[in-house]
Amino acid sequence: MAVVQIKQTRQVETSPEPERGVLQLHGFNLACGSQLTHGELAWQSWGPHNAPVVIVLGGISAGRDIGTWWSSQCGNGLALDPSFLRLVSIDWIGGADASSGPRNDQEFAPVESSDQANALLLLLNQLGIAQVEAVVGASYGGCVAQHLAGLLGNRLKRLVVIGAAHRASPWALALRTLQRAGIESSTDRASRVRALERARQLAVLGYRTPTELESRFGETDPATGVLGWLSAHGERFSARFNASSFLCLSRSLDHHEFDPSRIKASTTVVAIAEDLLVPLSLAREFVKRIGKHAELARISSPYGHDAFLKESGEFACVLKYALAAEIAA
């Protein structure tokens, strides 16, 4: 893949501070048949209002503060630069952040990836954004990005999907079912928190690869090596996420299904050869079903599904290449 440098014709010396807000979703209908009577969608816009709009969406634990979870790509001088792009992002409905979701770990209505996209469309219309230069979605965000591309039609120029396809793979579905089982069988808050930690630990194993863990921990004491690493991941996640939000978004990933022929925008699908959750064969099928306006970018990384967070150089090249045709002068 040739790498094209984006000519930053609208760049200013420093990017403006992110703007945050909450869109009221009164009577918002979910795909499951439930309705959010007083729903809320928390959003962030980062960059000049007259700049090309790029929507950035991450995994189930990622939110609207993209400078936190994707600091390798979003920021001054980076591939997604808010000094000449307007970066729009959200907190997931059903998640643990500022959008509507489980409160006090109570059950919440099922939320589909299509529901997130419908809410995003309402947000874009509310903000007066008629044209979207690109939607960049990774992992769960890649699922939502597909639905948003279908809704936007000719309003969207470029779609970039990373580590996602038009349906869940059987392996990923089975792994997430096991992650949820411990939480679903818990009978009290303490056991529910412990089960959430184990669920996150299982999830992290799916995000990485045996090769990476062997390289990092092969010669270390397991207690301070791989097992300590897993414990830290579980504890950090349970400190900021509740079990009901995890269940809601995990099920949403399993239920994701999309007709690729609905995508009209030029599309780049980024597949990681070692990704255990989204096999290369599924990514190839996805691209084929989108049509001739789609291309596959294949990356090899021991980080597997998490490569988009770890391989900053390679993904910067992919993003610049994908966006160059749309926003170059």
> DSSP letter at 306?
G
Catalytic residue among 81, 115, 275, 306: 275
Cα gap 33→218, rounded to integer Å? 49
CA–CA separation, 110 and 141 (whole Å): 17
Q: Who contacts 128 (Cβ-Cβ below 8 Å, separation ≥6)? A: none
Q: Which two tokens stand for residue 143?
A: 């699922």
Contact 159/145 with Cβ under 8 angstroms?
A: yes
- CA 25, CA 88: separation in Å to the nearest integer? 18
CB 9 within 8 A of CB 84: yes
Three-state secondary-structure class, residue 155? helix
Angle, vertex CA 272, rays to CA 203 and CA 268, nearest 5: 120
255 catalytic per annotation: no
Angle between helices 243-255 and 113-126 (to 10 degrees): 100
Q: Which of 114, 166, 305, 306 is catalytic?
A: 305
Q: Which helix (H) or strand (E) holds 114?
A: helix 113-126
To the query of whether residue 71 is one of the catalytic residues in this protein, the response is no
* Residue 170 CB contacts under 8 Å (≥ 6 apart), including other chains: none
Q: 61, 99, 114, 139: which is the annotated catalytic residue?
A: 139
Judge whether 38 counts as a catalytic residue.
no
DSSP one-letter code for 105: T
For residue 159 the two structure tokens come to: 């779609």
- H/E stretch holding 56 reads strand 53-57
Active site residues: 139, 275, 305
